[in-house]
Amino acid sequence: MAALLCAACSSAPAPATEHLTVFAAASLKSTFTDLGARFEKDNPGTTVAFNFAGSSDLVTQLTQGAPADVFASADQATMAKAVDGGLVSGNPVTFATNTLTIVTPPGNPDRIATFADLARPGVQVVVCAPQVPCGAATEKLEKAANVALSPVSEESSVTDVLGKITSGQADAGLVYVTDAASAGEKVAAIAFPESRQAVNRYPIAILEQTRSRSAAQRFVDLVTGPQGRGVLTAAGFAEP
């Protein structure tokens, strides 16, 4: 009898598993990692893997065939490229907004107070590259403030800009307010009024190639729903 019971146990089907891959803008790393853990807890048997990078780099990877189920971009222009490329299923949903702020090493040794101060001779400034959403926002701010920056480095993601500041490799940088908040005492953050001229809107979408459409939809629903709103707001993101 025991042998028969064991045989029956061994032949029982294993619990169904789903694997979800999410490509997301680098500025979403903290919030999406949190939401991913919540998603796995609420969906036993489902695992979530993330690829965080500059939004334009992610679109390039997807265009080249990288497998993924969900894409979240740091601006609508980059998501539009994914839509135009036939990568997206359905309509993207905007779930958050973000703006840039100035960050310096702790104590603000160069006494940066305004956006124009970033153009002072001798101030080493780091920004995002123009093809990245945070870089496109920087260009808008230069036009709005009528200030031309001469950065010593243009990075492929906002987290790389932040890293240059926290490691002491630059005097100032432009990052999202959410990244400045996550860095805490590692940086000093200086708000400036022109930032309102370049608000980045974050869209999320299910990808055409997904093999886990149901799980992908549940993740999008989490991000755009009350739990996602709470996590994003706590991190400094504004409502769409």
Q: In terms of domains, do 179 and 135 share one?
A: yes
Do the bridges between strand 188-190 and strand 46-53 make them parallel or antiparallel, or are there none, so unpaired? unpaired
Q: Which residues contact 217 (CB under 8 A, 6 or more apart)?
A: 206
Would you say residue 180 lies in a domain? Answer: yes
pLDDT band at 169 (very low <50, low <70, confident <90, very high): very high
Would you say residue 7 lies in a domain? Answer: no
Q: Which domain holds residue 162?
A: 100-197
Nearest-Å Rg of the Cα atoms of the chain is: 21
pLDDT band at 129 (very low <50, low <70, confident <90, very high): very high
pLDDT digits (tens, 9 = 90+) for 20-49: 999 999 999 999 999 999 999 999 999 999
Would you say residue 4 lies in a domain? Answer: no
Q: In terms of domains, do 86 and 66 share one?
A: yes
Kindly give the residue spans of alpha helices, DSSP state H, lying in the chain.
2-10, 29-42, 55-63, 76-84, 133-145, 158-166, 177-183, 213-224, 226-235
Place of tokens 């999406």: 32
State pTM to two decimals: 0.88
Q: In terms of domains, do 147 and 88 share one?
A: no
Q: In terms of domains, do 105 and 171 share one?
A: yes
Q: 122: domain CATH number?
A: 3.40.190.10
How far, in Å, CA of 108 to CA of 175, rounded? 15
Q: In terms of domains, do 93 and 205 share one?
A: yes
pLDDT digits (tens, 9 = 90+) for 70-112: 999 999 999 999 999 999 999 999 999 999 999 999 999 999 9
How far, in Å, CA of 67 to CA of 59, rounded? 11
Count up the domains in the chain and report the number.
2
With a cut of 70, say whether residue 6 has pLDDT above it. no
Three-class DSSP category at 137: helix
